[in-house]
Amino acid sequence: MDLSSVTSINAGFNDGDGDDYNIQQITASYGGKIDLSGVETITAPSGLWDHIDFILSEDAVIDLKSLNMLTSARGYTLFDVTNGGTLYMPSLEDARQVVFDLDAGATVSVDDPDDGKDPPPATYSSTGLWASAYHSHTRYWPLFKASGAGTKLDLSSVTSINAGFNDGDGDDYNIQQITASYGGKIDLSGVETITAPVRMEDRLDFMVEGGLLVLGNLNTEGSSKVTVTGIASDLEMVHLEPGDVVIAGELLVKGNLNPGGHTDITVTGIESNPETATLDVEGDIILNNPNTLILSEATLKVGGDLQFSFTDEEEEFKAADSIVHFDGSGCQLLEVGGLDVDVYVEYLPNDNFGFGQLIVGQEAEPTIVRLRDSVDNGNGFECHTEKEVLYLFGLGESDPNGLFIHPGSTLMLDGVNLYALRNGVWVHINSLFPEGEDEITYDGGGSIQKGCPNVKLAGDVDGSGQGGHPR
């Protein structure tokens, strides 16, 4: 169907009735193609429950290569793409009240391989997708969804996500969702700013359930929730059995994780396998109350510094059965916050801001990790009599070791006490240095040093060792 001369689609009707649902549809299936290559703007209906749908399936194509703006007062535009359907939008700059629902090998992308040009920067807004006057009602609003192997939603040109609505009603719960599952991938690698709902009972959720979600930054203002899990083929499983297929879940943040509002982050692996759920942050992680980070048999990768000011070991930060892997370069800073009970961990009432296992560096890609105690986490810090410390509890029977340092990488103690499980036995790492020695080799082939090396950090103008790490 060739409608290439059409420059706009206006479905912006208002039926004046919130009880009726009017849905207009444009459908391509079974290899069919609709040429709307001249369309620059699409206007969705005005009513919240009305929408215009673009439906693609069975290797069909809709050409929207000139589409610049998707707009609406309250209704929305839905792109429902499945079974190999393909849609490219290389000219998109402004998307308002737009829902993407992809599965079964579908592709929607701002990057047209036949165009050869970089897409322009784009903005996304969902501030109209909420409902009130449904007292004590929870309503979910799926914004982006990619499910199934080979399914990809590429919105890498989007620089901002604005979900900062205020429904003015504390009894209603409006939750907007971005979900990658069962091998699906969502690319939001260009996102620099995220604005979540204003009210605490409303949220913007980022969910990875055996898929991959890529964000430029995770610096949410407002209320949000992040969950990352792996998915097994037997969803009712109690234990993994031979033949069960596990799809790992990963959230990759290309920049920094530094939420400005209330963000709860939960990363959960499957049955003692931390590699099945990963939060990978290539920049800095800076976490303060009221944010939380709870890892359960999972992996946290840190490319920059890890800083936190938490004081609640039970509710705000937990990683005692998980891997924390510093895989950046230069000098990376690691805040410690634990209570010092020497090797008598049986006296600890909680996880004590400890990790299951700390990994320093990568094969042939060394780094330096420096421990520091610059914040009072409630367990005594450097301005008090006792410094706070770090405990590494190991990974249970699968790996009874809490510390691994790759060849060429270095862990700097810098006066902070470090306790680690080593072959099932608790060791005070600081006591391993022979008299007169400032450096030792540790498991993995890397080194541990007592003091801070002569490394000038980015932004360190006075040589104090503060100010960041080289990129």
Strand pairing partners for 247?
A: 231
| CA 450 to mean position of chain CA atoms | 34
Percent of the chain whose predicted confidence (pLDDT) is above 70:
91
Q: What is the CA radius of gyration of the chain?
A: 25
Residue 383 lies in a domain: yes
Helix, strand, or coil (residue 429): helix
Residue 185 lies in a domain: yes
Residue 142 lies in a domain: yes
Residue 241: its pLDDT value, please?
A: 60
Residue 460 lies in a domain: no
Residue 398 lies in a domain: yes
Residue 204 lies in a domain: yes
Residue 378: its pLDDT value, please?
A: 87
Whole-model pTM?
Answer: 0.91
Mean pLDDT of successive 10-residue stretches along the chain, which has 471 residues: 97 83 94 96 92 94 95 92 94 96 95 88 94 73 95 97 86 91 96 92 94 95 92 56 78 95 92 90 93 95 96 93 95 95 94 97 95 89 69 93 97 96 96 94 96 48 41 35
Instruction: Read off the amino acid at residue 382.
Output: E
Residue 380: its pLDDT value, please?
A: 75
| CA 441 to mean position of chain CA atoms | 34
Residue 48: its pLDDT value, please?
A: 85
Domain hosting residue 346, numbered range: 8-449
**Contact at 8 Å (CB) between 185 and 204?**
no
Q: Which residues contact 381 (CB under 8 A, 6 or more apart)?
A: 373, 374, 375, 387, 388
* CA-based nearest residue to 203, from 228, 179, 232, 174: 174
Residue 408: its pLDDT value, please?
A: 96
Residue 123: its pLDDT value, please?
A: 97
Residue 471 lies in a domain: no
Number of domains in the chain: 1
Residue 301 lies in a domain: yes
Helix, strand, or coil (residue 397): helix
Helix, strand, or coil (residue 233): coil
